[in-house]
Amino acid sequence: MTAILHCGDEERGRIWADVFARDMPEVDFRCWPDIGDAADVRYLVAWTMTPELIAALPALEVLFSIGAGVDQLDLSLLPPHVRVVRMIEPGITTTMAQYVAMACLALHRDLPFFHAEQRAGRWSYRPVRLCSERSVGFLGLGELARASLAALAPLGFRLHGWSRSGATIPGVQCHAGAGQLDTFLAQCDILVCLLPLTDDTRGILCRDLFAKLPRGASLVNVARGGHLVQDDLIAALDEGQLSAAMLDVTSPEPLPEGHPFYTHPAIFLTPHIAGVTRRETAVHALMDNVRVVMAGARPDGEIDRDRGY
């Protein structure tokens, strides 16, 4: 019998095993370390993996990531034929779109400034601008950026996006590739990073990039901490090139005690809660994908292992 092995949070494993037993009894859902006969285990669902785990699964064909990204996985541990699929499910997409809308509105309405003024005991004004007077630009135009753009569109922001291959999204001015990055950046009052973390994108949020944004622009990083050069952000905020940053991701997580991000007046931190995998919806997304793979088709969210996303 074909088996899928779950590795990670025990409670989630138990809940998902019950759902599979009820809705897909033709697949045996097992929870690490109870592998059973390893020759049956064709699928693995996990957040991370160890060399010992992969060595114990000689029949492995597909690794399903619990998360929307795969950068936490050392893909070099996997034999080349093993396919890798990231999690695309409505829980992550909906919560991410809501977070990005919240962050853009907070920055647009100068919440960091008013918060700092309140802390200082001052009753200060700033002129209120319409959303239509402000541009929001997305680095990355994938699943999560598109959902976030759809959440922002009714508010009236001018919307821009940049990706490797380009995209056509109604109401969004899209730019493609390194050659159009500077033009894109020059138009972003609020820059949202939703890139995957790869060798090409690590450290992209750096001094050079900040210098190409309009003076006083702000940043939302909801992708990965590794995209950001931390000292460059602090310098850009202190010099006034950037006015504020909302960071849901950092490197490392959690940040160590005493890290300057905790107390910087222009930085708002959240503990990697922007887009959250919901057990209830994710198990059905996983099951749908297992059915697709068993039918010999391409699962939703399969990554290109050479490209890294």
Each residue 208-237 as x (binds ligand NDP by CB under 6 A) or -, in order, gives --------------xxx-------------
Residue among 2, 10, 19, 14 at smallest CA distance from 286: 19
Task: Judge whether 224 counts as a catalytic residue.
Answer: yes
Part of the chain binding ligand NDP (CB under 6 A), chosen from 12-20, 35-43, 252-260, 271-279: 271-279
- At 190 the three-state DSSP class reads strand
What distances in angstroms separate CA 139 from CA 49, 136, 257, 265, 303, one per listed residue?
29, 10, 30, 25, 19
Residue among 282, 240, 284, 290 at smallest CA distance from 265: 240
Residues in the chain: 309
Using CB under 6 A, pick the residue from 140, 225, 226, 299 that binds ligand NDP.
140
Within residues 7-66, the interface with ligand NDP by CB under 6 A covers none
Residue 286 class from Cβ within 10 Å (0-12 exposed, 13-18 middle, 19+ buried)?
Answer: buried
Using CB under 6 A, pick the residue from 141, 172, 217, 266 that binds ligand NDP.
141
Shortest CB 66 distance to ligand NDP, Å? 11
Give the number of C-alpha atoms closer than 13 A to the C-alpha of residue 238, restricted to the C-beta side. 10
Using CB under 6 A, pick the residue from 201, 218, 250, 289 that binds ligand NDP.
201
Q: What are phi and psi of 303, to 5 degrees?
A: -95, 160
Part of the chain binding ligand NDP (CB under 6 A), chosen from 15-23, 31-39, 53-61, 137-145: 137-145
Using CB under 6 A, pick the residue from 196, 225, 226, 299 that binds ligand NDP.
196
Task: Judge whether 272 counts as a catalytic residue.
Answer: yes
Query: How many residues line the site for ligand NDP (CB under 6 A)?
Result: 29
Residue of 12, 272, 278, 279 with catalytic role: 272
* Residues taking part in catalysis: 224, 272
